[in-house]
Chain A
Amino acid sequence: MCCLTASVKVTTDIDSLRSEIRDKSVRVIDVRREGDYKQDHIPNSVNLPLATLLSDDSPERVLKLVNSLGIDDETPVVVYDDTFGALASRVAWTLEWIGHSDVTLLETTYANWKSLGLETDSLTPEISNKEHSMNLQSNILATSDYLESAKLRDDVILIDNRERLNYLEQHIPGAVSLPYRTLASSDGILRSKEDMKRLFDNRAISGDSEIITYCGSVGTLSGLAYYALKSAGLSNTKLYVRSFKEWKNLEKPTDKQEDANYWDLSAE
């Protein structure tokens, strides 16, 4: 059992990444679409569009992708995206899942990187294949079956990271709402550690519980929440990676907020 509030490095700051790129001591993954990547990207980064990963995210396939990106067990990896860290989180989580331990998120988005006038490049680096071992971390994955039984336990907190209106309309029974936007700061993909801890502390989301996160369909928003929790030292967290889409397809029970026309309060 790991210590419950051990602080884990979840993001890499801009300055560190720039020096690691200069030292060639890091593998940077850009998870945007191929076209965007080809136009420009952080120098020396490799492209792994999220859709490519999701087309088959079985461990064997993921391992092949990881090898082809020149990542072995010892390679430090930093992932970035242009969607507030959610897509990057899903990729980072998948690497963790097959057993890669040194993976972090860039603290900001690519758009912000560019707006700060930092260096970009349009060259695709030459990469030679590496051999990564397979060491599946099933303790960070929640399946629907697992979730169904875990939900009954008192020491499990289920978190819904979709927007509030979606949550009010329909959610997995027992889930609490924590919209993904809540996790960001005004200029970073995640709040500072202190701010994050206070947010969770107010919500009584603590290391005494096992935490499961989910979102709409493929585990991106909830992937970001996985890292948010980790940044606050809440490492006993699982991602229900197939999320609400699967839950509904399986026709499992859902809950909603009754007797209020909350949608009519939203401006479209």
Chain B
Amino acid sequence: MSISKLKPSSVDSAKPKINWARIDEADNFANTVKLYRQGKYDEDSFRRFRLQHGAYGTRMTSDYAMVRVKLPAGEIYPKQFETLSRLSEQYSIGSAHFSTRENIQLHWVILEDVSEIFRSLAEVGLTSREACGNSVRNVMCSPLSGVCSDEKFDSTPYALATAKFFLRNPMAQSLPRKFKFNFTCCEKHGMVRMVDVGLIPEIQQINGSEQKGFKIFLGGGLGNRSFIGHQLEDFTPEEDLLYTSIAVMRIFDRLGDRKNLARNRMRYLVNDMGWEKFQNLVLKERAIVRATQSVVTKLKVDTTPDKITRPLKISDESGSSVPDGYARWLKTNTIKQKQSEYRSVFITLEAGDITSNQLNSMATLIREFSSEGKARTGFVQNVALRYVHEDDLVKLYSKLLENGLAKSGGLTMTTPVGCSGTTSCNLALTNSHRLAKEIQRKFLELKLDEDDDLADSSIKISGCPNSCAQHGIATIGFFGGGGRLGKDMYPNYQMSLGGRFDADTTLGQTCLRVPAKRVIPVILKIIEMFKENKQSDDTLKSWIHRIVNDSEDSNIKSIADIKNILAPLVVPPTKEDDPDFYLDYGSDTSYHTKTGKGECAA
């Protein structure tokens, strides 16, 4: 008898509705790696193959890969957490990393072990297929879809159906470049204007009956050059969702730039062509798609409602003692759902990092506290545990404390987004990842998460001009580069102010360059300026918004004014006076910029 037969296994109430995996892809990957190592597969074809399967390159080495596991619509189930926990210990560095696009990444994986990861992922229905490369990347959905009080309807089933339709679909295997869909619940909680296709659920009265549909935004995106998406039409009925998606992808496939890798995302095509022309093309193409389908092609949207069952508490020894920090956490990490008596709880991580033990704990926490039996990943490297009954919040907080997952400030500026930076990325110039953690630690120490004025602002830090951390839409955004004083180099960041990603989506305006070791003092100085000049009902975000829109009339009227005040803080000292200034966070050797080949465009 095998051990597993002897042991009772935990039963999950909720099981994944969709199996995203195909086990034969594991064997195929293993065999291809062997052929590649034997020199029977050329570099370029192998790289394309590897990326198509979700294995990304690693900084300065060809021995390791990063496996990016897709969580379509951000959904993740207890057994999947347990598997990821085990995989992180077996094949990675004992922790995993949540991205800003609802993927979970395993870094520093030996290329030859990648197929073993695929095999285990397949057992729990997960895949990394088309998580990298020129394909439809993970289809995102707001972590609050289904529970948000401002949404017209739950767009999750549409996000899942879209993901299912395009995964392994021949039409999406060799696009000019990657292609991204974001669904949201409402304007506030999604990021629909900075992706290729962004969708907000909408209901219209048509001939007296309610018609579901979407507001669709096209051609947005962040990167070396960022653009904001355009709304296609007033209202797109749900049956046109797929035809519109196909039409847009066909145009991009046909007209997209396949040569110039630096500017071949769809947003460049839209920009070069002009929005009106692009819009007309899409509408015409959609008519053709609709009229010429050989069999009726439809999204398989499964709108069966999830079962909501409050987990039974086996023992309730909790009493009523409320741990320290509970009120602070409740305020800064939870949101009331439209379903009365329930809250969504956001679990704060440091720049998206989570240990294998914590991944395991997440499975237990879902089973014990989430009435929907699963979790959702968010847009800011976090996890949302939804449908937590209000009576269970104190107990949940205690459990989070035990597992090192109770950091407050999850929904505030004190939790910056940081891409992986020089911890693993070939393109990175600075350790943006560690900087994000340093800011978080400092700001929590200063209790800035309790300051309501700062709650709706954001800090996002990328390690290079590409926008993995989405710095362009942050209230205070940074991207890394190198600075120089004489012959000495130091880590440096370009700072932008006033970006936002709601209904008034705006790209931040460049302010000035800030050396890595001056980033924290500079942010604190900005907060000080704000406090001195704010109006009574201002938040940092609204104050900066007025400044970038030239409508502020206090002492500080423009980005240039802010720059002047900050200028003395960013003057580099000599290496003799302050040697630490010349070291990046997490490094004890002199800073120099060093990059390998990027694969975003491969």
Residues of A within 8 A of B (CB): 14-15, 107-108, 112, 115-116, 163-165, 168, 176-177, 179, 181-182, 184, 186-188, 198-199, 202-204, 257-268
Contacts and interface: CB of A to CB of B under 8 A. Distances in A.
Contacts of B431: 261, 264
A179 B421 CA distance: 25
Contacts of B492: none
A260 B422 contact: yes
Contact of B33 (A14, A176, A202): A202
Contacts of B108: 164, 168, 262, 265
Interface string B408-439: 00000000000011111000000101100100
Contact of B60 (A179, A182, A260): A260
12 contacts: A107-B3, A112-B3, A179-B90, A179-B91, A182-B90, A202-B112, A257-B60, A258-B60, A261-B586, A261-B587, A262-B424, A266-B95
B92 to A, nearest CB: 6
Given A202-B112, A265-B97, A266-B353, A164 B587 contact: no
B355 A267 contact: yes
Contact of A115 (B7, B33, B37, B97): B7
Contact of B420 (A164, A184, A265): A265
Given A203-B112, A262-B107, 7 more contacts: A116-B7, A165-B94, A181-B86, A260-B424, A265-B93, A267-B353, A267-B354
Interface in B69-106: 86, 89-95, 97
Interface of B: 1-4, 6-7, 30, 33-34, 37, 58-61, 86, 89-95, 97, 107-108, 110, 112-113, 115-116, 349-350, 353-355, 358, 420-424, 431, 433-434, 437, 584-587, 594
Contacts of A263: 423, 586
A262 B434 CA distance: 10
B434 A14 contact: no
Contacts of B4: 186-187
B7 A259 contact: no
A199 B112 CA distance: 9
Contact of A264 (B37, B349, B585): B585
Contacts of A264: 421, 423, 431, 433-434, 437, 585-586
A116 B3 contact: yes
A187 B4 CA distance: 7
Contact of B116 (A116, A199, A204): A199
Contact of B422 (A15, A177, A257, A261): A261
A202 B58 CA distance: 20
Q: Which of A107, A115, A204, A261 has the most CB of B within 10 A?
A: A261
Contacts of A257: 60-61
A182 B422 contact: no
Contacts of A112: 3, 7
A119 to B, nearest CB: 13
Contacts of B116: 198-199, 202
Nearest to A164: B93
B434 A259 contact: no
A114 to B, nearest CB: 12
A202 B95 contact: no
Q: Which of B33, B93, B115, B353 has the most CB of A within 10 A?
A: B93
A268 B354 CA distance: 8
Contact of A163 (B7, B94, B354): B94
Contact of B421 (A115, A116, A261): A261
A264 B112 CA distance: 24
Contacts of A184: 90
B410 to A, nearest CB: 15
A267 B418 CA distance: 14
A188 B353 contact: no
B586 A259 contact: no
Pairs of residues from A and B, 10 with the lowest C-beta to C-beta distance, nearest first: A267-B353, A265-B423, A264-B434, A264-B586, A187-B3, A181-B89, A261-B586, A267-B95, A260-B59, A182-B90
B10 to A, nearest CB: 13
B3 A182 contact: no
Nearest to B30: A202
B115 to A, nearest CB: 6
Nearest to B431: A261
A205 to B, nearest CB: 10
B3 A14 contact: yes
Contacts of B350: 267
A176 B91 CA distance: 13
A189 to B, nearest CB: 10
A77 to B, nearest CB: 21
Contacts of A14: 1, 3, 6
A262 B92 CA distance: 11
Contact of B94 (A107, A164, A203): A164
Contacts of A268: 355
Q: Which of B3, B37, B420, B587 has the most CB of A within 10 A?
A: B3
Contacts of B354: 267
A199 to B, nearest CB: 6
B59 A259 contact: yes
Contacts of A177: 110
Contacts of A164: 91-94, 108
A159 to B, nearest CB: 12
A202 B355 CA distance: 27
Contact of A181 (B58, B59, B90, B584): B90
Contacts of A107: 3
Contacts of B112: 202-204
A203 B353 CA distance: 28
Contacts of B37: 204
